[in-house]
Amino acid sequence: MTQDRKKRGRPANRTGKNQRPFNIVFEDSHLIVVDKQAGLLTVPIPDKHSRNLKELLDSYLVSQKRRAMVVHRIDRYTSGLVVFAKNAKARELLVEQFRAHTPERIYLALVRGNPGKEGTLKHYLKLVQDGFRQVVVGRDGTLAVTHFKMIEELGDVSLLEVRLDTGLKNQIRVQFGAAGHPLVGDRHYSPAEAHEVLLKRQALHSHRLSFFHPIKNRKVTFEAPLPHDMEKLVARLRRVREKSRISSD
């Protein structure tokens, strides 16, 4: 079994009225990997008619007489990589991998404060109907495990590489919030972020995704670059940090 070289998605041109809110990173006859824009639902919501990635991909695949088959999902206001299957066998084998937590799922996140150079967060979570959110509970909840490494300190904000062991709804967001380091812009789990004016969503991006190709049985790895809004915020924070350093010299 060999590992495919990393495939990097080119940023999609999403400025025009008719431009797609996703970029195709990889596609073959069995699966399609896309870089999703923040603000786009991954899958439809029952009894709602909101624009979503699955239905957009269904439209794209009409000419191939295929449909996008859901394997996993990321939050509406999280950007980055998502894989869909294009046939039942591929979906079955991909879903098995995600249920076993074997794919490598790496995110980039901007959090408040400094959580340290690296570490592991472990919490028991429970999904509640009030706000349809996860809350930290005792051991009667479901264990969530998240690892992180510091990439860069940006004043009172840290840029982190985050790796999931488990994949619960909103896991990264609720765990860092519980640890006292909420994600920048995450108004749902940290009301104080309502005052964040430089980013209109949580600073979370699905950056790298590795799994075994369901049919070719080799490891494949895909990457999506940091989106413009997060990249712009990082650049601003770097300028502020540099000014602060110069003024203190």
**Catalytically annotated residues:** 75
- Give CA–CA dist 69/44, Å, rounded: 12
Q: Hey, how many other C-beta atoms are within 10 angstroms of the C-beta on 11?
A: 13
The two structure tokens encoding residue 3: 């590992």
CB 133 within 8 A of CB 186: no
Tell me whether residue 66 is exposed, middle or buried, using C-beta atoms within 10 angstroms of its C-beta: 0 to 12, 13 to 18, 19 or more: middle
The number of C-alpha atoms within 13 Å of 214 and in the hemisphere containing its C-beta is 22
| Distant-in-sequence, close-in-space partners of 205: CB < 8 Å, separation ≥ 6 | 78, 79, 80, 107, 108, 109, 224, 226, 227, 230
- Closest by alpha carbon to 57, among 25, 32, 89, 29? 32
